[in-house]
Structure 1
Amino acid sequence: MTRLLKHQVQLVCTWLVLCFADDLVSHLPGLTNPIPFGYYSGYLDELPGRHMHYEFVESNGNNNDSLIVWLNGGPGCSSLYGFWSENGPFRVTTTGGDDDDNGQTVLLEDSNSWNSLANILYLESPVGVGFSYYSDNNTNNNNDSYVNSDNMTADSNYLALKSFYRKFPQYSNHSLYLTGERLAIGNGAFNNLLFLNSRVHFAYNHGLIDYEEWHDLESECCSCSDDDSGQVCTFHHNNNNSQCNVAYDIRLMLSRDDFDNIFDTNNSSRKIPVCFEQSFQTYLNRLDVREALHIPSHVKQWVQCQDVNYNRRLRYWDMSSAIRQLLASNKLQSFIIYNGDIDIVCDFMANQEFVELLGLNVTLDYQRWLINNNTTVAGYEKRYDGLTYMTVRGAGHLVPKDKPLAALEIIRRLISI
C-alpha cells in the first residue's frame, strides 16, 4: 500500500515537473499500522540558503478539505511541538521503561487530530528553529548570524507558503486558514501593554500574589478615571509614577522569577523554554526517525525552543490597526481569537479588552458554548461582525493539549463559518 502510494505520487511529480514524492514519509518507527493518510516532511526553500522544515499531513476525510497552517510562537519555538503534543495525528509513548533503558517506543494515533477535519501544514519558523537551517557561505549553518524580526519572519513564512504551493499545487484552490499559539492569531499577544497590565489583575485574582503585594501595586499604580466611572491602573511603564514602576519590578519580577514563565495556573511547573515531553524530543533526535523525516545528517539536534537572534525592538506591540485593516478588506472568511481561561502568558482579560476596543458591532452577546452533544460547557463566546472571541474553560496556554476536544470544535467552527 505504501509503495503504491509513493509510485502514484512519483507519477504526479513527473507530470507536474515537481518532486514532493521525495518528502513522503512512508513509515515511522514505533507505528504499528501503515500511515493512513499522506504525510510529508521536507524543506521549503523560501530564499537561497534558507531551508525551512515543514511537516504536512493530509486530511483523512474529504479530499477538498481546507488547508490549515499551524505556527508556534516564542519567538523561536518549534511548531513540531504542536504536531507531536497538541493537535497532530500521533503521540509518542514508551512501554517497559524509558527509551534509553531498552524501553519500547510506541506511537499512538490521536482521535482529536486536526487532520480529521483539514489538511495541516506545520512550519518550523523562523529559519534556525527546530530542523530548519541555513546553508550559505556567511553562516556555515550558524543560526546566530541572522537577525530575525516580526517582519522578516512574516516575509519568510509567506515565501515558504509560496514554496509549498509550488510543491503541492493541487492545494492552491483550497481554503486557507492561519492558526497558532502565542502569535497574533489564535491565542496571540495582540497588545502587549494590555497583557502587561492585565496579568497583575489576573495574578491577584488567581492567588499568585497576596493582598499586601496587590495593595502596594494598587496604591502606587491606580487612580480614579477622569469621568469617575471607576479605577484606572497602569502597572507597566507608568511614565507618571516611578514608584509604580519600582513596585511592579519588585513585586512581580524580582520576587517571582518564574512569574512571566508560567504557561497556566493549573501547572506552575511549566516554564519557557523547557523540554516539555522528553519522550518525543528523544524520539525526534533518533537517527532512524530523522531519516524517516528526511532530515540531513548535518542538521543540529532538535530542541523545542531555540535561542534565535531576534530583534525585539522591531516587534508589533499593538495589532489593532492590522486587525481592522484585515476585517475591512473583506478577504477573511472567518476570524476567531481564543484564550484558555487560566492562561497567564496570553490571558483572556487582555484579549477580551483588545477585542472590545476594536469597536466592532456585536452580533451575539457573551454566552457559554458547548461540546459533547451540547452537554458540557467548553467556555464562553461573543460574536462580532467578522470576528468571534472565545474562552476555553480550564485550559492554559496550550489549549489543544489541555482541552483537545474543545480545540477541535473551535477549528470545526473556524472552517465552517
Structure 2
Amino acid sequence: MASSTAVRHPLFTILIALSLLPAIAEQDDEQEGDRVGFLPGQPSRPAVSQFSGYVTVNENNGRALFYWFFEAQTLPAQKPLLLWLNGGPGCSSLGYGAASELGPLLVNGNGTGLEFNKFAWNKEANLLFLESPVGVGFSYTNTTSDLDNIDDRFVAKDTYTFLVNWFSRFPQYKSHDFYISGESYAGHYVPQLAEVVDDHNKNLEANQQINLKGFIVGNAETNDYYDYTGIVEFAWSHSVISDKFYERVKNVCDFRLSPTTNECSHVMNLLFKIYHEIDIYNVYAPRCNIDGSAFSSSFNSSVEKEAKNKSKRLRMYSGYDPCYSNYIEAYLNRMDVQKSLHANISGWIKDRRWSLCSDPIFDNYDMEVFSVLPIYSKLVKAGIRIWVYSGDVDGRVPFIGSRYWVEALGLPIKSQWQPWYLENQVAGRYVEYEGLTMATVRGAGHTVPQDKPAEALVLINSFLSDWKLPTKDI
C-alpha cells in the first residue's frame, strides 16, 4: 500500500525557496528603506537603531498611518514588542510618548535637537509608536470623508490593520511577545485594540496570530461615570473648588447620563475654567505662561471645549520647562527632520503645520463608547495580563475615578493595597486583583513617564517581566 505522505524531491524544495527570494528581498528593501540613519541634532552616542515611515491601512481610500520604531537597546531579538498609543483623541504618540516621555530620543529644552533618555522604555522592549487615527500628526488619508467617520471602532480596526501590515514589513518581530500600552484617551484605544487582536487570533492559524500577552494603561479614561466623578472629587479634595461648588456639581450632575444635561455642562465648564490658572494635568506643577499652539491631549467631551481652547500642555516635572510643547512642534516642523523621518514625503501637509493635537479629529470624533469595562471583564477571563497605573496628582483622569472603576470590576483581591519602592523611597501604592494590577505613582501627573521617568521604567519592567513591584519590610 502506498504511503499517504508525499515525499518531495530536494530540487522541488530548492525551487520553492528560490521563488520566495524576490519577495524576501523586496521585504528587506522596504524595511531598510524605513531605517533612520541620524536625526538632526541627535547625540552621536549612544547609537540608536530606529525606523520610521508609513504603513497603508486602506489602499482604496489612500489611508496610511505613520510610525516610529526603536529596537531594544540590548538583545532586541529576545525582547518583547511594545506598542505605545497616546490619546486625545487626536494627539500624537510621536510628540508625546516618543519625543517627551518614554522614547530614547527626547526633544531638548529649546527645540534645536535631541537628548538621550536614560530611562527610555526600549531598555526593556522593542518600542513602537503610532500616530493614530488618520489626521493625527503625519498620518493621513486621501479620502476626506474618512475624517467624518472616526470613532473607537474605526481606530481599533485601522490599528489592527496597521499591525498586520507592519509585521509583514518586520517579520522578525511576529513571534515576539506583544504588549499594548498608552495613556489618557488611549484608555479606550488600548483595551479595544486588545479585544480586536484577541478576537482575530481565535480565527487564525497559529503562525498568523499576533502574540498578544497583555496591556498596560496610564491615567486611562475608561468609564465616563467613574472618571467624571473622580474629576469632581479630586478637584474638591485638592482645594481647587469650594465646598459650595462641590455640592452644586453633585446636585446637578448625573454622570450616568450621556449626553449630560445643559446645567451639568455649564457647571463642568466652570470647573474647568477654574483650572485655567493652574495645570490640571499636575496640580502641583508650574503653569506655562507663554502662548503656544499645542493643546491638551486629554480634553475629550463637548462640555470641555471652551476650556480646551485656552489650555496649554505643560512640561510636568520639576526642573523642566513647562512650555516644552512649543519646542516639540518647532523640531518636528523642520523640513530636515521630516526628511530624516521619511515623513510628509509627498508634501501633503504643506498647507498646515504638524501639531501635537488635531482639533479637527477632536471636534469630529464620535465618542459613542461610554465604558470599556465589559472589555476588561472579557480579557481578564481570556488570561490577558492587565495593569493600570495612575500618577496621583493628575486632575484630568484622577486616580480616584480609576480606583472606582477597578473596584467595579468585582475581581477577587490577591494582595492588599501596599507601598512599592524605589531607592528606599515610597514610589507609589499598588493592589493586585485576580487578573489585574493597579498601581499609583507618587508625585506624578497625567504623563507618568515624563514626570517620574525612573519610577515609570521600574513599572514597565515589572509589567513586562510579570513581577511584583518592589517592596520592602518597614
User: 2:268 aligned with 1:252, yes or no?
Assistant: yes
User: 2:424 aligned with 1:378, yes or no?
Assistant: no
Distance 1:147 1:207, change over 3 A: same
Partner of 1:324: 377
Q: Secondary structure at the match of 1:53?
A: strand
Q: Deviations over 1:222-256 (max 9, x none)?
A: xxxxxxxxxxxx653679x98xx73x445432364
Compute the displacement of 1:350 (Å): 1.0
Compute the displacement of 1:36 (Å): 1.7
CA distance in 2, matches of 1:32, 1:264: 30
Letter in 1 for 2:282: D
Partner of 2:329: 281
**1:31 counterpart (42, 48, 59):** 42
Q: How does 1:10-409 map to 2 (within 5 A)?
A: 14=25, 16=27, 19-33=30-44, 36-48=47-59, 49-62=62-75, 63-80=77-94, 81-93=96-108, 105-135=112-142, 138-139=143-144, 145-182=147-184, 183-184=186-187, 185=190, 186-187=217-218, 188-217=220-249, 220=251, 235-236=254-255, 246=263, 248-254=264-270, 256-257=272-273, 259=275, 262-267=280-285, 269=287, 272=296, 274=312, 276-295=324-343, 296-300=345-349, 301-309=353-361, 312-330=365-383, 332=384, 334-372=385-423, 375-409=424-458
On the 8 A contact 2:444/2:452 being kept in 1, the answer is yes
Q: Deviations over 1:342-361 (max 9, x none)?
A: 11211111111111111111
CA distance in 2, matches of 1:129, 1:44: 14
On the 8 A contact 1:189/1:195 being kept in 2, the answer is yes
CA distance in 2, matches of 1:257, 1:160: 38
Letter in 1 for 2:164: K
CA distance in 2, matches of 1:284, 1:405: 26
Distance 1:19 1:66, change over 3 A: same
Letter in 2 for 1:107: L
Stretches of structure 1 that go unaligned for 5 or more consecutive residues are 1-10, 100-104, 222-233
Q: Deviations over 1:121-152 (max 9, x none)?
A: 000000110011113xx43xxx8754210000
On the 8 A contact 2:93/2:130 being kept in 1, the answer is yes
Q: Deviations over 1:84-129 (max 9, x none)?
A: 00000112226xxx66xxxxx3421110000111100000000110
CA distance in 1, matches of 2:247, 2:148: 45
CA distance in 2, matches of 1:65, 1:36: 18
Distance 1:55 1:255, change over 3 A: closer
Stretches of structure 2 that go unaligned for 5 or more consecutive residues are 1-21, 191-216, 289-294, 298-311, 314-323, 467-474
CA distance in 1, matches of 2:417, 2:443: 18
Partner of 1:229: none
CA distance in 2, matches of 1:151, 1:255: 31
Q: Alignment length, in residue pairs?
A: 373
On the 8 A contact 2:420/2:426 being kept in 1, the answer is yes
Q: Secondary structure at the match of 1:70?
A: strand
Distance 1:292 1:16, change over 3 A: closer
Compute the displacement of 1:28 (Å): 1.0
Letter in 2 for 1:408: L
On the 8 A contact 2:82/2:127 being kept in 1, the answer is yes
Q: Secondary structure at the match of 1:203?
A: helix
Compute the displacement of 1:299 (Å): 3.2
CA distance in 1, matches of 2:417, 2:150: 39
Letter in 1 for 2:63: R
Compute the displacement of 1:411 (Å): 0.6
Q: Secondary structure at the match of 2:464?
A: helix
Compute the displacement of 1:210 (Å): 1.4
CA distance in 2, matches of 1:237, 1:192: 7
CA distance in 2, matches of 1:316, 1:385: 25
Distance 1:255 1:157, change over 3 A: closer
Alignment RMSD: 2.6
Distance 1:145 1:287, change over 3 A: same
Identity %: 33
Letter in 1 for 2:52: S
Distance 1:195 1:279, change over 3 A: same
On the 8 A contact 2:149/2:366 being kept in 1, the answer is no
Partner of 2:302: none
Distance 1:87 1:370, change over 3 A: same
